[in-house]
Amino acid sequence: AMLCIATWSFSQSAVTAASAALLSKASAIDAAEQAILVTELDPLVTSVGFGGLPNSAGTLQLDAALMTHTGAAGAVMALQGFRSAIPVARAVLERCPHTVMAGAGAEAWARAEGVEGAVDQENVGDVSRGNLTEHAEKRYAEYLAGHEGEKPWHTDTVGLIAVDGDGGVAVGCATSGMQFKLPGRVGDSPIIGGGLYADEFGAATASGDGDQMIRFCLAFLIVEKIRDGMSPQAACELATARVRAASPTTQAAVIAVDRKGRFGAHCTRNGFKYCVWQGKGDVEVLEVNVGEEVGRWHHTCV
């Protein structure tokens, strides 16, 4: 059965796009790429793609990855000069001799390949050229003026899983990373096994405090538990419990599917909303309730 699930309520338009693609017989990877691109190109989403907040040098650096149930994978990290990174990750998956490309090398390779839907020769996302979004320029000016203070830094990402009519599964993840990060910083989002993972048993993706989450290899952990016979929901709950036990202040949210068409979602704090389309009807926005004792999710990438 066709299915699409994605992190955060801002992914509603992405899941809607994926559902339309899947209904028109698109493959899971096509649906996932097209859907994530919708979020990346939305200037109102301040933690992904073109709307994202820049690094400490005033430059937008993007990360993205895609993986399918066949084990095919492609990732791009610290990509500059592009409005979106998911088309580059797709190109790496299909056309690059390597699985991961990063930084200036990734940019040069993508330009040489003429990656569609991503290239912007105006050197997009550089504050010195005045081509961040207005909101990002304003937030960067506040950062330079020292108004960020001692706020904790957390970031949201778009993670999306699509299941097509033939049972194919693809998972993708994209982010502009932590706001005002050091140039070159990469979190868990584009890390295969960390921010996303898929195999013949299922798929998972994660969102939250990437610098802390990365050590738990959450997406791989969840899919491995699904392989062992757990439901996606039970596997997600096991993963977030492990994070909470080892690092109580870390914010982590996860979603997963299995090849039986079941899905799951869980998080370490209240306030995690996700979007799901179950093969027919409208996209639902659901919220995970963890319980009173854990507190609410703190968003700063705004």
| Catalytic residue list | 157
Secondary structure of 278-290 in HEC code, one letter for each residue: CCCCCCEEEECCC
Collapse the DSSP code of 78 into the 3-class scheme (helix H, G, I; strand E, B; otherwise coil) and give the result: strand
- φ, ψ for residue 126, nearest 5 deg: -125, 115
Q: Which helix (H) or strand (E) holds 159?
A: strand 158-163
Question: Residue 269 in contact with residue 251, Cβ under 8 Å?
Answer: yes
* Structural tokens at position 263: 């899905």
Q: Which residues contact 108 (CB under 8 A, 6 or more apart)?
A: none
Alpha helices in the chain (DSSP H): 12-23, 28-40, 86-95, 103-113, 134-144, 210-213, 218-227, 232-246
- The strand pairing partners of 197, in sequence order, are 204
